[in-house]
Amino acid sequence: MKTILILFLLFSVPVVVMADITFSDKPVPISKDGQFIQHDSTIVLSQAAPDESDQSLNASPDAIKEMEKVYYECKSDGTLASHFDCKCWSNRFLEERLKAGPKKPAYNIKSDISNQCFNIPGAAEYALIKCDGNGKSSYDFGYNEESGMSFEEFCQCVSNNYAIQFDSHEDRFTRQVSNKFLTSSLLRCQTPRPGDKKIWKRLDQ
């Protein structure tokens, strides 16, 4: 019954086109006070502006324009920007465009590079905001207040567990996957009530 109720706790995620994403296999580091700690992206171009990579020197004006479009589309979409390093992603897009030529659809290129340029700290913050705005009913449904866990601590737990799941995800990332991770994190962070038989294991402990 608990799982059914939690599944009805809807987290509205904008409908965006997200291609396949593969995340690093490194565990998300957690500090002693339970706070999420940022770790570096695995993509070397992540700090470059969308028009500052070496590849842009050999790119046509149309390719540069397309790369900039990918960058600004990413930056203007809160969900994409929370889960991707937009500078890195747009530069990788340009690299693959130059390899593939002008005829390959942009969507296919995005799909090819969607296992790169992830933004794990951004995803953790995304989950924290979602929990803060929509997670109170889930917090109240559990045994959290009685156990001494505050709502702030609960949402930090949700953020950490979302980030850990996101970091280890190796399949297509979609709105449904994001909702699945959020729901799972809510369940994992609930303090079990006395007698509960199904207990979701926290990933940050």
Stretch 135-160: mean pLDDT: 91
Higher per-residue pLDDT: 114 or 63: 63
Check residue 180 and give its pLDDT: 94
pLDDT, position 50? 55
Q: Comparing 42-51, 55-64, 79-88, which segment has the lowest mean pLDDT?
A: 42-51
Lowest average pLDDT, out of 121-130, 150-159, 186-195, goes to: 186-195
Rounded to whole angstroms, how far apart are CA atoms 164 and 155? 14
| No. of helices (H) and no. of strands (E), the chain | 10, 0
DSSP designation for 30: B
How far is CA 146 from its chain centroid?
A: 31
What's 20's DSSP letter?
B
Residues in the chain: 205
